[in-house]
Amino acid sequence: MKHKKPIIENNIQNQYFRNFTVVITGDTLVGKTDIVNRLLGKGYKGLIEVGEYSEKRIIDTKTDGELLISYNKCPSGESYVKYNENLYKYGEGFIIVFDITDKNTFDSIDKYVNLIKEKSEKFSLIALIGNKIDLMNKMKINDDEMFQKSQEIKKLFPDKRVIFRTISAKRGDGIEELEIDIIEEAKKKLKREKEEREYQGFEVI
């Protein structure tokens, strides 16, 4: 008869399994920096920050202990193409941001979706995010277009989780919901990898 035995915890291995890498991408000035600030609980700064591309946060969940979520902003500009390709490669959750007041940023979505398709090796979540909903009166994209776009992405990745939300980094609308989506996905990843380890026989004698 087989018995379950607790895994001998290896710190490095454990750290790896408890890390979830989120990549935030989208055109310049759509609000990526402000969204990350919000997700980190830093509030809204309304400033363009330069030179800070990766941030981390430890979340203490009741059931799963500590979970490390890293938020990696894709910097804008030609000189960061290689840097961003690397982020795409390791990204597990993607946030594609567009500005609801700027149609060009919406039209760029396909570019980022294609990059995920080409480069990403292990993602499970895409969050399509329309930012600046506080400027509703200047909205340049209608609800139908946004819905259609999210459906297109879903069709392209039928086995992944694709969500669509409109938010305001300025007011904080929709940030909590977005964070819940990310944490849920990170927890699923932990569960999946634990099951894989069990399947490989690490936990069974």
Q: Which amino acid does the sequence have at 85? A: E
**199/144 Cα distance (integer angstroms):** 44
Regarding 120 and contact with Mg ion (CB under 5 A), the answer is: no
> Looking only at residues 8 through 67 of this chain, which bind Mg ion when binding is defined by CB under 5 A?
33
- Which window, 31-39, 60-68, 109-117, 156-164, contacts ligand GTP (CB under 6 A)? 31-39
Q: Which is nearer to Mg ion, 33 or 168 (CB)?
A: 33
Residue with Cβ nearer Mg ion (51 or 158): 51
**92, two tokens:** 């597990």
Q: Rank residues 6 and 51 by Cβ distance to Mg ion and give the closer one.
A: 51
SS3 31: coil
Pairwise CA distance, residues 30 & 74, whole Å: 12
If contact means CB under 5 to 8 A according to the sort of partner, which of Mg ion, ligand GTP, none does residue 120 touch? none
* Smallest separation (angstroms) from ligand GTP to the CB of 24: 8
Burial of residue 33 (number of CB atoms within 10 Å: 0-12, 13-18, 19+) = buried
List beta partners, residue 125.
93, 161
3-state secondary structure of 90: helix
- Complex with Mg ion: residue 21 or 33, whichever CB lies closer: 33
Number of residues that bind ligand GTP (CB under 6 A): 17
Residue 105 interacting with Mg ion (CB under 5 A): no
The residue nearest Mg ion at its CB is 33
Under rule CB under 6 A, residue 32 binds ligand GTP: yes
Residue 98: strand, helix, or coil: strand
